[in-house]
Amino acid sequence: MKNLINKANQVLMHTYNSIPVTFISGNGCYVRDSEGKEYLDFLAGIAVNSLGYNHPGFNKAVETQLKAIIHYSNLFYNRQQIELAEKLVKNSHFDKAFFCNSGTEAVESALKLAKKYGKIFNKGAWKIVAMKNSFHGRTTGSLSLTGQMKYQDSFLPLLPGISFADFNDFESLTGKIDSETCAVILEPIQGEGGIYPAEKEYLKKIRDLCTKKNIALIFDEVQCGTGRTGKLFAHEHYNVVPDIVCLAKGLGGGLPIGAVLSTEKFNIFKPGDHASTFGGNPLVCSGALSVLHELIDKNLLEHVVKVSRHLKKRLTVLQNNYPSVVSVRGIGLMMGIELNIDAGKIVSNCREKGLLLATAGGSVIRFVPPFIVTEKEIDTAIDIIDSVL
Ligand SMILES: Cc1ncc(COP(=O)(O)O)c(C=O)c1O
């Protein structure tokens, strides 16, 4: 491990304060490190490995595609990409899809769609309202929308015309909108910011306002989408449909894919407006199709609903037993507990005891296990946290 760390320090840019552990294999909800230690994984590569590890259906789909063809350019038709778009469109209120490789790229794509829409259909409107405490990615467009100064600070000035409203505060939002606003973007459940779900009435009011003012409503469901909440899209819990939704993370089950979906009204890209060399290649699409097959056709969504009730119940018991647990928040398998003690220390102590977790927003511990997690594994995880607390 020491050699690996030394080498990393020599050759990698220091963008992460990495933990001195390296994983070499995984099975189900467990991963194994280079020392042979096993961990129950409630982090899932930060809400990515939706089917866990070594999933037979996923492996078979990806292996078959790997042997057939991995990549070809979007200059040609690609059956897996078309099937993936069809599956997403058939199971949503959206009409069209564009594929890229990550969450931040999905947000960039949404940003461009909204800007083009404002230019053509809303008298040149170009400004965007995002939320304080949000997280949308690290490229300069998505970073410009990320309402946390700690991420933006070194890179200012970023894109002009972006303002930040208080999350879950409709008046704060209306105060930021003017005749030049082309879009509002938000996460239905703020993830990195600390697992804060939007309130139902709030999203409904925003939907009405955006419709009335011809403003694009963009939901960033990179973290909370693709089944994590027990529905395919987080906005289904709210009965509110955005104009554009961004997906990534869990969609590829570990393969790098991002997607932006829009209604027909926002189907305004023309050839040359937007593209991605790797976006939606046959390999990543075969993985994403397998994830959707499990979620939709093999009822994994129902499983998520069932086990997430158990997770919530057990987290609530923790809250009742420990004054250090001040709140339990989230939907489905995207849960957080807010602590009034050092959350980072609890996470590292849990890791020592074989449970992987991460913090969110400083004082919150985030629970985003693979969708295949069982009630028994939830019990094991909670027992570990209980002992650490
Ligand atoms: C809500 C949200 N949007 C965008 C991103 C950026 O995704 P990526 O790291 O794949 O670029 C993240 C990553 O954590 C996210 O949580």
Asked whether residue 128 falls in the same domain as residue 25, the answer is no
Q: Is 220 a catalytic residue?
A: yes
Q: Given 270, 297, 324, which residue is the final one in a domain?
A: 297
| 245/110 Cα distance (integer angstroms) | 8
Asked whether residue 189 falls in the same domain as residue 332, the answer is no
- How does strand 258-262 pair with strand 189-190? unpaired
Closest-CA residue, ligand 1 atom 3, reads 136
Which atom number of ligand 1 is nearest to the Cα of residue 224?
1
Q: Say if CB 281 and CB 68 are below 8 A apart.
A: no
The mean per-residue pLDDT over the stretch 324-353 comes to: 98
- Given a cut of 90, is residue 366 above it in pLDDT? yes
Distance 68 CA to ligand 1 centre (A): 30
The total number of structural domains in the chain stands at: 2
- Ligand 1 test: best mutation among 50, 101, 104, most atoms within 8 Å of CB? 104
Give all strands (DSSP E) within 104-226, no chain letters.
127-131, 162-165, 181-186, 189-190, 196-197, 216-220
Q: Which helix (H) or strand (E) holds 375?
A: helix 375-388
- Given a cut of 90, is residue 65 above it in pLDDT? yes
pTM for the whole structure = 0.98
Is position 9 within any domain?
A: yes
Which residue bears the tokens 């390296």?
22
Q: Say if CB 186 and CB 176 are below 8 A apart.
A: no
For residue 296, give both structure tokens. Answer: 């939709």
Is position 60 within any domain?
A: no
Catalytic residue (choose from 220, 233, 312, 367): 220
Task: Report pLDDT for 362.
Answer: 87
Ligand 1 and 147: CB distance under 6 A: no
How does residue 204 score in pLDDT terms, banded at 50, 70 and 90?
very high
Is position 309 within any domain?
A: yes
- Given a cut of 90, is residue 154 above it in pLDDT? yes
Ligand 1 and 220: CB distance under 6 A: yes
Instruction: Kindly report the three-state secondary structure assignment for every residue of 263-309.
Output: CHHHCCCCCCCCCCCCCCCHHHHHHHHHHHHHHHHCCHHHHHHHHHH
Which atom number of ligand 1 is nearest to the Cα of residue 104?
11
Range of the domain at 362: 2-54+299-388
Distance 388 CA to ligand 1 centre (A): 29
Distance 67 CA to ligand 1 centre (A): 30
Asked whether residue 141 falls in the same domain as residue 172, the answer is yes
Ligand 1 and 104: CB distance under 6 A: yes
CATH number assigned to the domain comprising residue 50: 3.90.1150.10
Distance 142 CA to ligand 1 centre (A): 9
Catalytic residue (choose from 249, 312, 367, 371): 249
Which residue bears the tokens 């990543």?
284
Nearest to 367 by CA among 325, 330, 326, 324: 330
Ligand 1 and 191: CB distance under 6 A: yes
Asked whether residue 153 falls in the same domain as residue 237, the answer is yes
Ligand 1 and 108: CB distance under 6 A: no
Task: Report pLDDT for 371.
Answer: 98
Q: Is 135 a catalytic residue?
A: yes
Distance 36 CA to ligand 1 centre (A): 31
Ligand 1 and 194: CB distance under 6 A: no
Q: What is the pLDDT of residues 103-120, one digit of tens each?
A: 999 999 999 999 999 999
| 18/34 Cα distance (integer angstroms) | 15
Asked whether residue 209 falls in the same domain as residue 259, the answer is yes
- Given a cut of 90, is residue 314 above it in pLDDT? yes
| 189/84 Cα distance (integer angstroms) | 25
Nearest to 281 by CA among 41, 110, 81: 81
For residue 136, give both structure tokens. Answer: 């949308």
Asked whether residue 189 falls in the same domain as residue 253, the answer is yes
Asked whether residue 275 falls in the same domain as residue 319, the answer is no
Q: What is the pLDDT of residues 286-307, one digit of tens each?
A: 999 999 999 999 999 999 999 9
Asked whether residue 247 falls in the same domain as residue 180, the answer is yes
N-to-C CA span, the chain: 29
Task: Report pLDDT for 10.
Answer: 97
- Given a cut of 90, is residue 279 above it in pLDDT? yes
The mean per-residue pLDDT over the stretch 195-207 comes to: 98
Q: Is 219 a catalytic residue?
A: no
Q: Given 297, 330, 350, which residue is the final one in a domain?
A: 297
Ligand 1 and 101: CB distance under 6 A: no
Asked whether residue 176 falls in the same domain as residue 267, the answer is yes
- Given a cut of 90, is residue 275 above it in pLDDT? yes
Catalytic residue (choose from 98, 135, 167, 266): 135
How does residue 348 score in pLDDT terms, banded at 50, 70 and 90?
very high
Is position 267 within any domain?
A: yes
- Ligand 1 test: best mutation among 111, 135, 224, most atoms within 8 Å of CB? 135
Asked whether residue 316 falls in the same domain as residue 293, the answer is no
Distance 135 CA to ligand 1 centre (A): 7
Q: Given 249, 282, 297, which residue is the final one in a domain?
A: 297
The mean per-residue pLDDT over the stretch 3-19 comes to: 96
- Given a cut of 90, is residue 147 above it in pLDDT? yes
Asked whether residue 235 falls in the same domain as residue 337, the answer is no
Q: Measured between alpha carbons, how far is residue 129 from residues 158, 176, 200, 208, 209 in Å?
A: 14, 7, 19, 16, 13
Q: What is the pLDDT of residues 169-196, one digit of tens each?
A: 999 999 999 999 999 999 999 999 999 9
Mean pLDDT, the chain, rounded, equals 98
Is position 262 within any domain?
A: yes
Is position 62 within any domain?
A: no
% of the chain with per-residue pLDDT over 90: 99
Is position 86 within any domain?
A: yes
Asked whether residue 180 falls in the same domain as residue 205, the answer is yes
State whether residue 75 is helix, strand or coil: coil
CATH number assigned to the domain comprising residue 159: 3.40.640.10
Q: What is the pLDDT of residues 69-103, one digit of tens each?
A: 999 999 999 999 999 999 999 999 999 999 999 99
Distance 320 CA to ligand 1 centre (A): 32
The mean per-residue pLDDT over the stretch 126-150 comes to: 98
Is position 123 within any domain?
A: yes
Task: Report pLDDT for 30.
Answer: 98
